[in-house]
Amino acid sequence: MSHPNGNNASGKLSPLAVASTVLGILGFVTLWILGGLLLAGAGAVLGHLALHDIRFSGGRHTGKRLAQFGLFISYATMAVFPLIGAGAIASLPAIKEFRKSQMVAKSDVSQKHASRLFIACEQYSRANGGKYPREWNQLAGAYLSESEIGLLLTSPYPNSSGEAFELVPHERPVLRGVESSVVVIQENAPATVENVAIVYADGKIDLIANPNRYQ
């Protein structure tokens, strides 16, 4: 008895048809990488081989519609790939601008935290005969709460380790003529961050090249 598609109902499902469909589907779901395109190409080749095998198998192999679906999904995948690639290339400037804006926002947060720490250090200095704290926990209580210190010393940058800022040893009192060049607080940031915040003895905040990028 013949199958409606012209295949013998008792025939065996063509392995090539199955492989074509599987590779076509895998190519489609992995289209975002080059490997997806290669899988789709292999699926198209196997789809054609499956149709040829089914046609000349004398009814021993079935799966014509499955092979046709494998061809369809494989060719559709290959047709869509250039569009996805073009879209990805077109979106690169926007992605780059977004990442830049994110870094600027994080840098602003760092500078605000550095400013708050500087104010607390200056308050400590006035109450302790001009001496600066040696450790951040000396500010706890009268100048900053422990939760504030924890927040201010948490880096806004991912993959950061340790405290976000360090106290830079310096001579006290700082001579008025060199206040604008003596660094009292410096930010610690991962090597992926281009610039870090520093605070001078006069309270001015600036950005310098991240030393961790060159270690």
User: Which ranges in the chain belong to alpha helices (H)?
Assistant: 15-29, 34-55, 64-127, 146-152
Under a CB-based contact definition with an 8 Å cutoff, are residues 66 and 116 in contact?
Answer: no
Tell me how far apart the alpha carbons of residues 215 and 212 are, in angstroms, rounded to a whole number: 5
Least confident of 19-28, 30-39, 196-205: 30-39
Distance of CA 5 to the CA centre of its chain: 50
Q: pLDDT-based confidence at 114, cuts 50/70/90?
A: very high
Under a CB-based contact definition with an 8 Å cutoff, are residues 188 and 155 in contact?
Answer: yes
pLDDT at 35: 81
Using a cut of 0.85, tell me whether the model's pTM lies above it.
no
Q: Which residue would you say has higher pLDDT here, 7 or 210?
A: 210
DSSP 178: G
Tell me how far apart the alpha carbons of residues 58 and 60 are, in angstroms, rounded to a whole number: 6
Tell me how far apart the alpha carbons of residues 23 and 85 are, in angstroms, rounded to a whole number: 20
Q: pLDDT-based confidence at 15, cuts 50/70/90?
A: very high
Tell me the three state secondary structure of residue 200. strand
Give me the phi and psi of 12, to 5 degrees please. -90, 140
Q: 57-106: per-residue pLDDT in tens?
A: 888 999 999 999 999 999 999 999 888 888 888 888 988 999 999 999 99
86 burial (CB, 10 Å; 0-12 / 13-18 / 19+) is exposed
Tell me how far apart the alpha carbons of residues 22 and 39 are, in angstroms, rounded to a whole number: 9
Under a CB-based contact definition with an 8 Å cutoff, are residues 33 and 84 in contact?
Answer: no
